[in-house]
Structure 1
Amino acid sequence: MTKHLLRKQRPNIVVIGGGTGLPVILKALRRKNADITAVVTVADDGGSSGIIRDYINVVPPGDIRNVLVALSDLPEIYKNIFQYRFDSKDQFFSGHAIGNLIIAALSEMNDSGIFNAVQELTAMMKVEGHVYPASNYPLVLNARFKDGSVTSGESEISAAGKTIDKVWVSRSNNEAPEAVPEVIDAIMDADQIVLGPGSLFTSILPNLMISNVGKAVCKTNAEVIYICNIMTQKGETEHFTDADHVRVLHQHLGMNFIDTVLVNTEPVPNDYMDQQKYDEYLYQVKHDFNGLRSLGCRVVSNNFLELRNHGVFHNGSQVVDELLGLTSRPLSWMDSELN
């Protein structure tokens, strides 16, 4: 497979994922001169998103809400209102973010699905870039574990405490999930496809398991970059190396499609993390650079670590500086490691 990047003054970057990692990268990209498209997972079934999804059967709004705010040019007061989460003891409103309710309302008003509703909201919120739900309809995430058992639902999968073998997505009406043409066009026209950071099995793979999305990511001429997680995750990637993350991605799509991997090499200080607050994160991901290169990946290693509020995060500015630097470097299939 030969790939090249079409050099432009404004690189066209598509970021695919969900969870808390995606907005970190998007906020940093928004401060740079990049043409941004966010493709957001629609398989979440936990928290406020899961409750709203169960009540009115709409695409879970939480990840979409956070991405809209990350790319919005509205004053902070408006974004804070959109993000406000009720702490009332009212049985319905407690725990719901105002933005989730607005997205759900627009979905009901727009009978053609969530995609057009989100496009209306991007205009209202003065979003810089594009926000595309990975599917126009809510999807169910399914998993088969190493012991052969199968379960459905993102929350149930994470809580099962078993080693995941494979995940896939389905619709409630048993139709094959597909992304709208705009999502596929964005992937095919991109200079860079960025996966993550985020939960491997529940934030990144649900997007790639949509058949036409996975095929487009494998077929595009864009450089496909995986931002490897800093920490392993309970119920998903316990004891994984960085090469194990990429190996799982390749196995799910049936080919080696990751071109470049961004890896944090800065150690997390002992006893820094609040293990009660961040109880899903276990150990720092171990490095296997030889394994990554054997999978056909260029390795970019650097200090991408940000320590904040006794939690471990990616430094969005540092990651984005590296991403934009890669748009000006030729993609070489020679083994290389940049420090």
Structure 2
Amino acid sequence: MTETKTIRVIRGRRPKVVVIGGGTGLPVIVKSLREQNADVTAVVTVADDGGSSGVIRNYINVVPPGDIRNVLVALSDLPELEKSVFQYRFDTSDAFFAGHAIGNLIIAALSEMRGGIFQAVQSLSAMMKVDGHVYPASDRPLTLNAEFTDGTTLAGEAEITAAGKHIKRVWVTDSNGEVKPQAVDEVVQAILAADVVVMGPGSLFTSVLPNLMIENLGQAVLQTQAEVIYVVNIMTQKGETERFTDADHVRVLNAHLGANFVDTVLVNIAPVPSHYLDQQKYNEILVPVRPDYAGLRAMGCRVISADFLKLRDHGVFHDGDKVASEILNLAFQVGTMKKRKR
């Protein structure tokens, strides 16, 4: 179902869309938005400490590059061969480089050369002919912290997801413990100047919220006149969103920023075929997120429900093209009155 509100049409320019998140969902959405002629800015989490990104981070203390690498490729105009080289991951038999993606090593090297991840990514964006902007959420590596419902706490994204506990709240700290985490000014200004700001799809506590917990970034999301959209995950996630409805996801977002700030929610209504999901390969994925339209409306959300489902490789994903189309429909229908902040 779709609820409406007063709109105006943006004419004569590409709509400005800021997408905030991390993980596998972010590059899918930004790639489709780019292909549908949006002016895309991707704000990428820097609190990941797992996989190749985590190993590189531990050795040379740079912002984890994996999510940034994938978004750069998604927005790049380079030929496929060059992009595949950037994405190439060394075989496990190559002891020294085992598991590392070439792009991660390049980003780490440029971070040292340019004195930080932000300028490194801007240089690499030019080299890779990126159509849009890729902004690390912070120029410094951050640590994700979580309090669980049993009162215990943990630090580190990998440790949090491996704990198998239910998360109550998260926050971020500077990995060196020296300064309060801040987003660079370009991130804040992009959010304030956007027509729409999109959060998700992605892990609620470990991909979306780490960005919003950077104080000036979260405040920019509260202050922007843009339409704020949340793309609800199709499936619940073990240890993060077990038994969550779509409204529960939004309640957690609102609680972390202390306001009902989500304007529109995109909800998948296409059924997931039983026994399609490979539970061994996707062992964190549980069951489809249950709808709670009344709960969403009570928080002031417009609901757009449609078939956003894409099935591939025995996994359950969002169809990037369908999600991007809805986002751009909203971008061309920005409210005429100053948005009421709740």
Alignment correspondent of 1:324:
328
Deviating more after overlay: 78-87 vs 166-175: 166-175
Higher RCO (CA 8 Å, separation ≥ 6 residues): 2
Give the 3-state SS of the residue equivalent to 1:236 in structure 2: coil
CA separation in 1, counterparts of 2:336 and 2:236?
Answer: 29
Q: 1:245 aligns with which of 243, 246, 249?
A: 249
Matches for 1:158-173 after TM superposition, within 5 Å:
158-171=161-174, 172-173=176-177
Q: Cα deviation per residue 1:49-107 (whole Å; 9 max; x = unaligned)? A: 00000000000000000000000000000000000000142333111000000000101
CA separation in 2, counterparts of 1:13 and 1:288?
Answer: 27
Alignment correspondent of 2:102:
98
CA separation in 1, counterparts of 2:6 and 2:155?
Answer: 37
Alignment correspondent of 1:15:
19
Give the 3-state SS of the residue equivalent to 1:78 in structure 2: helix
Alignment correspondent of 1:189:
193
Q: Cα deviation per residue 1:206-250 (whole Å; 9 max; x = unaligned)? A: 000000000000000000000000000111111110000000000
Number of positions where the alignment pairs a residue of Structure 1 with one of Structure 2: 331
**Is 1:229 paired with 2:233?**
yes
CA separation in 2, counterparts of 1:315 and 1:277?
Answer: 20
Alignment correspondent of 1:337:
none
Alignment correspondent of 2:340:
none
Alignment correspondent of 2:30:
26
Give the 3-state SS of the residue equivalent to 1:226 in structure 2: strand
CA drift at 1:34 = 1.1
Matches for 1:1-339 after TM superposition, within 5 Å:
7-8=10-11, 9-111=13-115, 113-171=116-174, 172-329=176-333, 331=335
CA separation in 2, counterparts of 1:217 and 1:330?
Answer: 16
Give the 3-state SS of the residue equivalent to 1:300 in structure 2: strand
Give the 3-state SS of the residue equivalent to 2:243 in structure 1: coil
Q: TM-score, normalised by structure 1?
A: 0.95
Letter matched to residue 198 of structure 2: V
Q: Cα deviation per residue 1:132-189 (whole Å; 9 max; x = unaligned)? A: 0000000000001111111000011111111111100001224110000000000000
CA separation in 1, counterparts of 2:68 and 2:230?
Answer: 21
Cα separation, partners in 2 of 1:153 and 1:4, compared to 1, 3 Å:
farther
CA separation in 2, counterparts of 1:178 and 1:138?
Answer: 11
CA separation in 1, counterparts of 2:241 and 2:141?
Answer: 25
Alignment correspondent of 1:336:
none
CA drift at 1:3 = 9.7
Give the 3-state SS of the residue equivalent to 1:103 in structure 2: helix
CA drift at 1:5 = 6.6
CA drift at 1:109 = 1.1
% identity of equivalent residues: 67
Cα separation, partners in 2 of 1:332 and 1:190, compared to 1, 3 Å:
closer
Unaligned 5+ runs, structure 1: 334-339
Q: TM-score, normalised by structure 2?
A: 0.94
CA drift at 1:326 = 1.4
For the aligned residue pairs, the C-alpha RMSD in angstroms reads 1.5
Cα separation, partners in 2 of 1:88 and 1:165, compared to 1, 3 Å:
closer
Alpha carbons 1:139, 1:169 under 8 Å: kept: yes
Give the 3-state SS of the residue equivalent to 1:306 in structure 2: strand
Cα separation, partners in 2 of 1:4 and 1:56, compared to 1, 3 Å:
farther
Unaligned 5+ runs, structure 2: 338-342
CA separation in 2, counterparts of 1:258 and 1:204?
Answer: 13
Give the 3-state SS of the residue equivalent to 1:162 in structure 2: coil
Alpha carbons 2:195, 2:334 under 8 Å: kept: no
Q: Cα deviation per residue 1:297-321 (whole Å; 9 max; x = unaligned)? A: 0000000000001110000011111
Give the 3-state SS of the residue equivalent to 2:141 in structure 1: coil
Cα separation, partners in 2 of 1:46 and 1:5, compared to 1, 3 Å:
farther
